[in-house]
Chain A
Amino acid sequence: MYKLFLTLRYLRKRRIAFFAIGAVTLCVAMVLIVLSVMGGWLEQVMQRSRGLLGDIIVDNHTNSGFPLYDEFITEIEKWPEVVKATPVLYSYGLFQIGKTYNGTVRIVGIRLEEVFEVNAFKASLFYEKFYPGTTRFGDQQQAVLGFDPDAPPVKSPEGDEFMMRELPEPYRSALSHADQVHREQTGQPLTDTDSVPDLVDDSRTHYGQPPIPGLFELAEMRNPPGYEGDTLPGVILGRDLIAERQRDGRYERFIPLGEVVRLTMVPITEVGNVDPTPIKRQFRYADDSRTGIYEIDSQHVYVDFGLMQQLLLMDEGKGVDGDVIPARCSQIQIKTIDGADTEALAQRMEDLYLSYLEDPKRELRPIDRDLIARVQAVTWQRQQAHIIGPVQKEKALMTILFGIISLVAVALVLCILYMIVLQKTRDIGIIKAIGGSSVGVAAVWVLYGLAVGVVGCALGSAFGVWFVSNINEIQDALIAINPAWRVWDMQVYSFDRIPSRVATSDLIGVNAIGVLAATVGSVAAAWRAGRMQPVEALRDE
């Protein structure tokens, strides 16, 4: 009993032990923060680099693309392991919205309905979440908020009656339906927590009306809700192109839905030459996508695959000598069933594509053969290995480095406990004189180290978890004081937020090692205390 009693008493009464606890606390917190940020970073890299990819990607890594993709997709969709496949086009171009805002963007051509089935693109869309079924690439005008003459006026808290601006159909019904579904699923109304409320939202909230998610143009005068402007095809924009992220993580939109977007792109021929005549086309902003990867969200715009193919002259055509020039795509994304052996499947797909070269029924032009010969099929993990691999290595390296630094805590525990043993030499003599055994006295110090480890790890875990949970707010506060103190640059690290999730396995692992290290650090002190002869210890001055 005395071992536990003395351990707890020394822990409370020996202030120098607080330094040992402090060292363990800081080291545990430090390692936990590093592991959490690096682990979270790796997880996000894996998740988000995956986000807009299928399970398997077929690509020939040229700007010219490759033909026969529709035949290939038709064929592989018969395989039981394949759920869906869709072609994708990539190109670069100039983006302009309003009169002044412009920049270089990567233009991605997709078949929207197919992409929804292949990857997580649908979940990244803002307006589609609140107005399901309204996001499309088809021709459209700009939706405007107006005053519905049939709607009853609403009363303000002061008793005034007002007409509220309302959405046109089908947005109004879509929002109502989405809200109803959300209430059925969660019991809560569907609310937009990602955006800063605009003036319309503030006004509606004042009159007790639910806000309207997103930013819409207002109808002139007292016109009813409806649609205005030229009919143009839709375009989906990366969210950072049309909104600005605030300190609290919410977005403030500065471009209303349906605004005219001008894209200028340059066709690339089959042999890789740039067509000298740029293609200019106007679109309407139909939705915005947020993957969480800043490089994607600030540089990607998505248009209809078929339209982009036409604009880039990659659709099927006839050559000057009457030859059929097959349509081309840049990539094929494929979703497989859960548990499929994607490595083996990718190899089968690559073999299938390359077998087109040997098919005597196909009259392929030499240039088509060249483009097909370059086709490779890889899993999404391999496709992104150049991103995931270095992060995995960096995580391991950082963990090892901070683990080594944490040995300082072990050394400090050792020194402090050894010092306490020297200070308490006479006490050790007394305990032995009144019946304490060598093992018992040694156990007091091992328990002491254990207690230092447990208390230090508990405090370190609490601090580490708190720090990781609030890491973005801490950075935001630092930036508010001095912008140069930004430690996580979203342009450098790809993600707009610092990863902030502590893995339970990391928490358990770090605590186990922390307690073990502090206990090991106490062994030398325990050894010395146990070996002390009571008479010599009692004579200690």
Chain B
Amino acid sequence: MSNATSDKPLLIATGVSKHYQMGPSRLDVLKACSLHVKRGEFVAIMGRSGSGKSTLLHILGALDTAQAGKVEFDGQDVFGAGSERRRVRFRRNQFGFVFQFYHLLPELTVLENVLITEMIRTPIAGWLARRGDARKRALAIIDRVGLSARIRHRPNELSGGERQRVALARALVHQPAILLADEPTGNLDRESGAGILDLLLGLHGDGQTIVMVTHDKAVADRADRTLNLVDGRLRDE
């Protein structure tokens, strides 16, 4: 399906383990999970609800930390020295997130929700100089997700599918190296879900590297490769 994959892995996770201590008992969510994602690849991670696939995605995207294991992005250790700053830098510049529940900022319009990613990346002086370019990029990506007519609307004035399109635009506006999507269709009706999936496939067709978590086999089947997370362990399908 992919037309732009490269043999060189962009993201490598090695022996990633995560557990939660709940009083005297310990819940092992991830047990020495390893995976690699090539540049331009579309990888789906499947698993039942509560299997730890979102946790794995959060660790891969430097949103969460693991108790053991290593995550490398383009040859750099995501959890290396100066971890917090390093993780912020990765999240800010390399990763784009799409969440199941959209997670848009309710006080901001569609355009502002997309632009906020650029604002975070740009200091105030630079923003004054590059504001026009950022706005053009934001409008272009909003146009791509089909919401040009809704740029002044707030999230509570949009449907679920439209919100997820805004979330997708926000994740892509800074042209991340990798898009991490956590159940992007999980909260949508069939039609809206299909629309989002089509957008993801279109992006993948343009060379975007995507890691998507889903519990829906039909959605996972559209990816280049599917990994199953069962009992905390990752297996190739």
Contacts and interface: CB of A to CB of B under 8 A. Distances in A.
Interface residues of A, number: 26
Contacts of A426: 103
Interface in A311-350: none
A438 interface: yes
A436 B97 CA distance: 13
B194 interface: no
Nearest to B93: A435
Given A10-B107, A435-B88, A438-B84, A534 B124 contact: no
Nearest to B126: A1
A433 B91 CA distance: 7
A535 B58 contact: yes
A538 B99 contact: yes
Interface stretch (B2-10, B113-121, B139-147, B206-214): B113-121
Given A434-B91, A535-B64, A1 B107 contact: no
A13 B109 CA distance: 12
Centre residue among A4, A431, A433, A533 by max chain B CB count within 10 A: A433
A435 B62 CA distance: 10
Given A430-B103, A433-B103, A2 B88 contact: no
B92 A435 contact: yes
B122 interface: yes
Interface string B44-64: 000000000000001000011
Interface in B72-123: 84-85, 88, 91-93, 97, 99, 103-108, 112, 116-117, 119-123
Centre residue among B112, B120, B170 by max chain A CB count within 10 A: B120
A511 B106 CA distance: 33
A79 interface: no
Nearest to B107: A13
A436 B107 contact: no
Interface string B23-61: 000000000000000000000000000000000001000
A440 interface: yes
A430 B105 contact: yes
A1 B63 contact: no
A430 B58 CA distance: 13
Nearest to B94: A435
Contacts of A427: 105-106
Nearest to B117: A434
Given A9-B108, A535-B58, A535-B63, A436 B120 contact: yes
B130 to A, nearest CB: 10
A386 B21 CA distance: 73
Contacts of A538: 63, 99, 103
B131 to A, nearest CB: 9
A2 B120 contact: yes
Contacts of B106: 427
B107 to A, nearest CB: 4
Centre residue among B58, B119, B121, B124 by max chain A CB count within 10 A: B119
A437 interface: yes
Given A433-B91, A535-B58, A5 B119 contact: yes
Chain B interface bracket (under 10, 10 to 19, 20 to 34, 35 or more) = 20 to 34
Contacts of B91: 432-435
Interface in A2-47: 2, 4-6, 9-10, 13-14
Contacts of B126: 1
A363 B107 CA distance: 96
A9 B92 CA distance: 22
Contacts of B85: 437
A533 B93 CA distance: 19
A429 interface: yes
Given A426-B103, A427-B105, A433-B103, A4 B124 contact: yes
Contacts of A430: 103-105
A535 B62 CA distance: 10
B119 A534 contact: no
A435 B61 CA distance: 11
A14 B66 CA distance: 36
A425 to B, nearest CB: 12
A1 B126 CA distance: 9
A1 B127 contact: yes
A1 B97 contact: no
Contact of B63 (A13, A14, A433): A433
Given A1-B127, A9-B108, A431 B99 contact: no
A429 to B, nearest CB: 7
Contacts of B124: 1, 4
Interface in A429-460: 429-438, 440
A434 B107 contact: no
Nearest to A427: B105
A181 B120 CA distance: 68
B107 A9 contact: yes
B200 to A, nearest CB: 18
A435 B105 contact: no
Contacts of A6: 116
A516 to B, nearest CB: 23
A9 B107 CA distance: 7
A442 to B, nearest CB: 13
B119 A2 contact: yes
Contacts of A438: 84, 88
Contacts of B107: 9-10, 13-14
B116 A2 contact: yes
A431 B120 contact: yes
Nearest to A4: B124
A381 B126 CA distance: 60
A433 B97 contact: yes
A426 to B, nearest CB: 7
Centre residue among A1, A5, A426, A431 by max chain B CB count within 10 A: A1
Nearest to B104: A430
Contacts of A13: 107
Nearest to B154: A13
Nearest to B173: A434
A434 B106 CA distance: 15
A256 to B, nearest CB: 72
Contact of B170 (A14, A432, A434): A434
A389 B87 CA distance: 63
Nearest to A14: B107
A533 B65 CA distance: 10
Contacts of A437: 84-85, 88
Interface string A499-541: 0000000000000000000000000000000000111001000
Given A432-B63, A434-B120, A434-B171, 15 more contacts: A1-B123, A5-B116, A14-B107, A430-B104, A431-B105, A431-B120, A434-B117, A435-B88, A435-B120, A435-B121, A437-B84, A534-B63, A535-B58, A535-B63, A538-B99
Pairs of residues from A and B, 5 with the lowest C-beta to C-beta distance, nearest first = A435-B92, A1-B127, A2-B119, A1-B119, A13-B107
Interface of B: 58, 63-64, 84-85, 88, 91-93, 97, 99, 103-108, 112, 116-117, 119-124, 126-127, 170-171
5 contacts: A426-B103, A427-B105, A432-B91, A434-B117, A435-B88
